[in-house]
């Protein structure tokens, strides 16, 4: 055995697993996180294969089903009943998953991308740049999230795209601050000093050494932000800032007109509501599981 081999064996002994595999093991032993994965899996599966799952066209009206009132509840043909225009509620909820997933992913991507950029620059450069960016983020954070989203969506004009942008923008300061804190923490570490000492360019230090080590809180926050984004999207849709075509099977939009029929057809509100709850719960459970799994203080306690 060569010295190198011996050393590496020693290292393996000290660190029997890497950060990620360690976290993974912790995660799969957490029943709540497993449930989260199942719910999110169900949600993503439904969204991807909506066309195969849904028995009807979500926009196809069938006014004869209403029989002069509103609205027949669950039956063998229509598992979740029909809505106030005789459209199959099950198919609409299934297609709605697609919109929620799309809005959630795009909005969080927007938030994470710009947040990472601003946070990393701010944390790494420090000084006046840091002050400027962070005060800007503070201003954005001082406005309640949903309120700011409403403002942005109203300014851009209602629609799917503006909802995504609005929620994304609201997420920017959250990620920027998170990453800045993380970068600041890493900046003083020995391996960063070492890299500097040997003359590694600053950009490379940031991208190859600091960022990979600062990313875990962002993953946790990102998962939780997905859940919030779905709720916010539904909220904006409910307020009429979502897709302008009211026949769009978006969960929030579906809830808009149901208040009028709460007494006679509560399923119109309950079912899209449940869909929102289930998907949000899934992301929240995963997010919490990840937080526990990635928490350095808990590391090694398995």
Residues forming the site for other proteins (CB under 8 A) = 59, 61, 63-64, 66-70, 84-86, 240, 244-247, 256-257, 260-261, 263-264
Q: Between 112 and 265, whose beta carbon lies closer to other proteins? A: 265
Asked if 134 and 180 count as a contact pair (C-beta separation under 8 A), the reply is yes
Query: How far apart (Å, rounded) are the C-alpha atoms in residues 98 and 235?
Result: 17
CB of 237 to other proteins, least distance (A): 13
* Cβ closest to other proteins, residue 213 vs residue 247: 247
CB of 59 to other proteins, least distance (A): 8
Token pair recorded at residue 227: 């859940």
Query: Is the Cβ of residue 220 or residue 265 nearer to other proteins in the bound state?
Result: 265
- As measured in angstroms, the least distance from the Cβ of 69 to other proteins is 6
Buried b (16+ CB within 10 A) or exposed e, 239-262: bebbbeeeebbbbbbbbeebeebe
Give CA–CA dist 170/168, Å, rounded: 5
Q: Which is nearer to other proteins, 202 or 260 (CB)?
A: 260
Q: 3-class secondary structure for 120-183?
A: HHHHHHCHHHHHHHHHHHHHHHHCCHHHHHHHHHHHHCCCHHHHHHHHHHHHHHHHHHHHHHHH
Rounded to a whole number of angstroms, the minimum distance from the CB of residue 54 to other proteins is 18
Rounded to the nearest whole angstrom, what is the least distance from the CB of residue 88 to other proteins in the complex?
14
* Smallest distance from other proteins to CB 240, Å: 6
User: Which residue, 61 or 113, has its beta carbon nearer to other proteins?
Assistant: 61
Cα(152)–Cα(133) distance, rounded to whole angstroms? 20
- Among 177, 269, 176, 281, CA closest to 226: 281
Cβ-based nearer residue to other proteins, 113 or 256: 256
């Amino acid at each position: 055995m060569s010295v190198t081999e011996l050393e590496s064996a020693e290292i393996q002994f000290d660190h029997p697993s890497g950060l990620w595999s360690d976290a993974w093991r912790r995660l799969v032993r957490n029943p709540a996180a497993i449930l989260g994965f199942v719910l999110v899996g169900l949600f993503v599966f439904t969204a991807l294969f909506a066309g195969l799952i849904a028995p009807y066209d979500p926009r196809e009206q069938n006014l004869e089903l209403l029989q002069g009132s509103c609205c027949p509840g669950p039956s063998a043909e229509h598992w979740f009943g029909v809505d106030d225009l005789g459209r199959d509620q099950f198919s609409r909820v299934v297609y709605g998953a697609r919109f929620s997933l799309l809005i959630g992913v795009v909005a969080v991507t927007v938030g994470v991308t710009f947040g990472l950029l601003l946070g990393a620059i701010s944390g790494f450069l420090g000084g006046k740049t840091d002050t400027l960016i962070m005060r800007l983020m503070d201003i954005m954070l001082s406005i309640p999230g949903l309120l700011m989203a409403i403002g942005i969506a109203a300014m851009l004009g209602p629609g799917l795209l503006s909802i995504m942008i609005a929620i994304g923008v609201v997420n920017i300061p959250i990620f920027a601050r998170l990453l800045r804190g993380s970068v600041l923490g890493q900046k003083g570490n020995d391996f960063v000093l070492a890299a500097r000492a040997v003359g590694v360019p600053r950009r490379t230090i940031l991208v190859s050494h600091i960022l990979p080590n600062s990313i875990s809180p962002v993953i946790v926050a990102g998962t939780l932000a997905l859940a919030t984004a779905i709720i916010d999207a539904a909220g904006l849709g409910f307020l009429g800032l979502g897709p302008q075509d009211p026949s769009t099977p978006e969960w929030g939009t579906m809830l808009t007109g149901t208040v009028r029929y709460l007494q006679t057809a509560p399923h119109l509100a309950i079912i899209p509501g449940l869909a929102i709850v289930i998907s949000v719960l899934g992301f929240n459970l995963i997010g919490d599981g990840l937080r526990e799994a990635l928490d350095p203080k808990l590391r090694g306690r398995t």
